Amino acid sequence: MITTRAFTVGPTESGWARTVTELAVAELGPGDVLVRVEYSGINFKDGLASSAEGRVARIDPLIPGIDLAGVIVESDAPAFAPGMRVLAHGYDLGVAHHGGYAGLARVPAEWLVPMPAGLDSRTAMMVGTAGYTAALSVDALERAGLVAGSGPVLVTGATGGVGSMAIGMLAAHGYEVVASTGKADQADWLRSLGASEVIDRAEVSAESTRPLERERWAGAVDCVGGSTLAYVLRTLRYGASVAASGLTGGTALATNVHPFILRGVNLLGIDSVQTPIDRRRAMWDRIATDLRPAWLDTEHATTVGLHALGAELDRILVGGMRGRVLVDPNS
Ligand SMILES: NC(=O)c1ccc[n+]([C@@H]2O[C@H](COP(=O)([O-])OP(=O)(O)OC[C@H]3O[C@@H](n4cnc5c(N)ncnc54)[C@H](OP(=O)(O)O)[C@@H]3O)[C@@H](O)[C@H]2O)c1
């Protein structure tokens, strides 16, 4: 029996368990392509999928890991030959289908993105779902009319995965980026990623009964939601847009119609999970070229093996991350 080392989660008689175990390759689930995973990453959703309270895991046990990149070892799909480097994220991966926290993953070909020229498994996983979401956000803002030189663009949750990637991608396009963070000691790091100004999270998450405030932002990438998204809507400039992807600051949105009907602002919803595969592959080509953060090859990313994963998964759920943490399932 061929097996692979895997990090699994799920309920047991003695409660929720996280285990590093050997799993039969035959148990990896359906799919026409077998991938040797070189790297995965840690996203907020991986934290949710790995905890009982998260209510995200839909199979039991589950190998989490919504991102993976590696080399094809077996394939029944004509477009994907053994030896090819690929990446995958989203759809059911790491939620209802075994994900990237294992040495091998079996994946449907229609979920796979051929590794774009200029990226490798490590840099692709530094980007991961978080960076892909940041890229979708920048793309959505530009489709809605944002151009470099139009004014400051706010990035919230700046030290996290989506935020730090958004800073690098916006800076690569020449935007003036203002980063908001709850981690004042990371201001220099955020500037090194491309932020021209760093402001306190408290400033952008304050509750207010005022329907509108001073017009400030030419655009915004918001992965925090809650009172932060409400603040952004009150302070966007006339006709500007916010790309909203996340909920680390809460799911409720207390707002009113004034930003929409008096300032013509746009609330752009961002979903990384179900993007049709052709658009996904095209977006990864942009990530490898014009949206590529300048620091992608030089930025240090902590890499953990399967035994050290638990602590990192707990950390992301309390907002304790700085940038991206990579997972090497072979160490
Ligand atoms: N729509 C999609 O397809 C999609 C895809 C990926 C991620 N997401 C969502 O986007 C969010 C961010 O994901 P991520 O992987 O970047 O997570 P992350 O690395 O943990 O980053 C989230 C950041 O939000 C800030 N934050 C944490 N708690 C907060 C609070 N109570 N109030 C305000 N800010 C808080 C922190 O940044 P600072 O300390 O710098 O403020 C934290 O680093 C999550 O909600 C995730 O589910 C959605």
* Residue 289 C-alpha from the chain's centroid: 18
Rounded Cα distance between 306 and 293, Å, is 28
CA of 231 to the centre of ligand 1 (A): 16
Q: Residue 72: which residues within 8 A CB-CB, separation 6 or more? A: 33, 34, 35, 36, 80, 81, 82, 83, 84, 85, 86
Are 213 and 141 a contacting pair, CB within 8 Å?
no
Q: List the chain pLDDT tens, one digit each, 331 residues.
A: 889 999 999 999 999 999 999 999 999 999 999 999 999 999 999 999 999 999 999 999 999 999 999 999 999 999 999 999 999 999 999 999 999 999 999 999 999 999 999 999 999 999 999 999 999 999 999 999 999 999 999 999 999 999 999 999 999 999 999 999 999 999 999 999 999 999 999 999 999 999 999 999 999 999 999 999 999 999 999 999 999 999 999 999 999 999 999 999 999 999 999 999 999 999 999 999 999 999 999 998 999 999 999 999 999 999 888 889 999 999 8
Q: Give the pLDDT confidence score for residue 282 in this predicted structure.
A: 97
| C-alpha 84 chain-centroid distance | 24
Q: Is the dihedral of CA 289, 295, 296, 298 positive or negative?
A: positive
φ, ψ of residue 52 to 5 degrees: the values are -60, -40
Is 181 near ligand 1, meaning CB less than 6 Å away? Answer: yes
Evaluate: CB of 323 within 6 angstroms of ligand 1.
no
**Would you call 173 exposed, middle or buried from its count of C-beta atoms within 10 A (0-12, 13-18, 19+)?**
middle
Q: Tell me the CATH architecture of domain 127-269.
A: 3-Layer(aba) Sandwich (3.40)
Instruction: For domain 3-115+300-327, give the CATH number.
Output: 3.90.180.10
- Residue 292, number of CB atoms within 10 A of its CB: 21
Tell me, using a 6 A CB cutoff, whether residue 205 lines ligand 1.
Answer: yes
How close is the Cα of 44 to the center of ligand 1, in Å?
7
Q: Measured between alpha carbons, how far is 29 from 6 in angstroms, rounded to an integer?
A: 14
Terminal CA-CA length for the chain: 22
* Dihedral of alpha carbons 111, 117, 118, 121, sign: positive
Cα 223 to ligand 1 centre (Å): 5
CA distances (Å), 241 to each of 175, 232, 311, in order? 15, 9, 36
Give me the amino acid identity at 315: R
Cα 122 to ligand 1 centroid, rounded to whole Å: 22
Structure tokens at 330: 């072979």
Which ligand 1 atom sits closest to the C-alpha of 272?
3
What integer pLDDT is reported at residue 321 of this predicted model?
Answer: 84
Mutate to test the pocket of ligand 1, among 180, 201, 224 (most ligand atoms within 8 A of CB): 224
Ligand 1 contacts CB of residue 199 (under 6 A): no
Residue 232 token pair: 């952004």
What pLDDT does residue 320 have? 84
Ordered by start, the domain boundaries in the chain are 3-115+300-327, 127-269
DSSP-derived secondary structure letter, 272: S
